[in-house]
């Protein structure tokens, strides 16, 4: 998620990292759904969404995507990456927990782009995709409980055919501690908690609590290894510019490029 989301101020409640933190989250729901409902199409006004074509240029190169391939877009939001990939002849299925965002994604979707409401923590795809993307905290990194991101990554790994690739962005924990001072960083869970003002299409603001799971490159490598994925690169990036440089503490995001290890597919006997 971009730094211009209207983030401000800090919070007073702990950034809980266990199952009890699901209090206030009805079964089968996710805290981001209320934000998506309020935002609606205004999501695409935020500046961090403006570099979609350049981001897809890089994703296509990093995953060697070609027309006819099939990509899973995890936490696809209103489908900006999926639409752009489909325009290039690449079939994409986007999943998101927000019905509001999935409805937006359906609107004007090019042929080859399909969407469905789904919680990425409970995906059941089985070796159906040549590649996956999970960008801008799309499901990965919007967790409140330890284990959520691991579940998302395991589901992605299961969804890939052997050798299939993943491009995933994750918020930089070092950057969060150094610069993201309006948020409260919980060192135990690595989750930054803040209150953010979100503006709808009419400019009406509403405040929401927000949780961002933050990572170091070392943690990302370990998580990928746990899911049976081999990391090819981790680079420092920012929204709209995925060209990548060696990891530093100065970039808001890291971009992970990983491939499913053919012999170590997660969950395989
Ligand atoms: C910041 S948006 C990013 C959307 C899109 N990937 C993009 O780059 O514009 C994060 C998205 O992840 C979705 N999301 C968060 N947790 C999710 C989960 N567990 N399962 C599916 N989608 C989830 C949210 O609903 C939201 O659409």
Nearest CA to ligand 1 atom 3: 138
Ligand 1 neighbour 36 (Cβ under 6 A): yes
Distance 135 CA to ligand 1 centre (A): 8
Task: Give the tens place of pLDDT for each residue, 38-90.
Answer: 999 999 998 889 999 999 999 999 999 999 999 999 999 999 999 999 999 99
Ligand 1 neighbour 253 (Cβ under 6 A): no
Please tell me the distance from the alpha carbon of residue 38 to that of residue 5, in angstroms, as a whole number. Answer: 13
CATH number at residue 49: 3.40.50.150
pLDDT surpassing 50 at residue 14: no
pLDDT surpassing 60 at residue 27: no
Task: Give the tens place of pLDDT for each residue, 149-202.
Answer: 999 999 999 999 999 999 999 999 999 999 999 999 999 999 999 998 999 989
Task: Give the tens place of pLDDT for each residue, 89-136.
Answer: 999 999 999 999 999 999 989 999 999 999 999 999 999 999 999 999
The predicted structure's pLDDT at residue 46: 87
- Take residue 164 and report the two structure tokens written for it: 């299939």
Ligand 1 neighbour 144 (Cβ under 6 A): no
Lowest pLDDT segment from 5-19, 46-60, 161-175, 248-262: 5-19
pLDDT surpassing 60 at residue 9: no
What is the residue whose two structure tokens read 């995709």?
Answer: 129
The pTM score is 0.90
Distance 142 CA to ligand 1 centre (A): 8
Ligand 1 neighbour 121 (Cβ under 6 A): yes
Q: Are 154 and 126 in contact (CB under 8 A)?
A: no
What is the domain extent for residue 59? 3-266
Domain count within the chain: 1
Q: Are 102 and 83 in contact (CB under 8 A)?
A: no
Nearest CA to ligand 1 atom 10: 138
Q: Within 13 Å and on the Cβ side, how many CA atoms surround 123?
A: 34
């Amino acid at each position: 998620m971009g730094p211009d989301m209207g983030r401000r101020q800090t919070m007073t409640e702990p950034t809980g990292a266990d199952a009890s933190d699901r209090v206030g989250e009805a079964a089968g729901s996710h805290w981001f759904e209320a934000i998506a409902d309020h935002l609606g199409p205004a999501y695409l006004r935020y500046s961090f969404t403006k570099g979609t074509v350049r981001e897809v240029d890089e994703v296509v190169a990093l995953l060697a995507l070609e027309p006819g391939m099939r990509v899973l877009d995890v936490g696809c939001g209103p489908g900006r990456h999926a639409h752009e990939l489909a325009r290039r002849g690449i079939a994409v299925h986007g999943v998101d927990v927000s019905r509001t965002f999935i409805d937006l994604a359906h609107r004007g979707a090019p042929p080859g782009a399909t969407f469905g409401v789904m919680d990425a923590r409970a995906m059941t795809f089985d070796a159906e995709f040549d590649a996956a993307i999970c960008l801008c905290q799309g499901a990965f990194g919007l967790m409140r409980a330890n284990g959520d991101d691991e579940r998302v990554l395991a589901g992605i790994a299961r969804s890939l055919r052997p050798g299939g690739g993943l491009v995933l962005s994750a918020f930089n924990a070092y950057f969060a501690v150094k610069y993201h001072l309006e948020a409260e960083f919980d060192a135990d869970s690595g989750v930054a908690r803040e209150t953010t003002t979100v503006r709808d299409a009419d400019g009406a603001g509403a405040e929401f609590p927000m949780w961002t799971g933050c990572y170091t490159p070392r943690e990302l490598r370990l998580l990928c290894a746990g899911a049976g994925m081999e990391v090819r690169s981790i680079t420092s990036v920012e929204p709209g510019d995925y060209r990548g440089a060696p990891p530093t503490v100065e970039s808001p995001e890291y971009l992970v490029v990983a491939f499913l290890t053919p012999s170590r597919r997660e969950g395989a006997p």
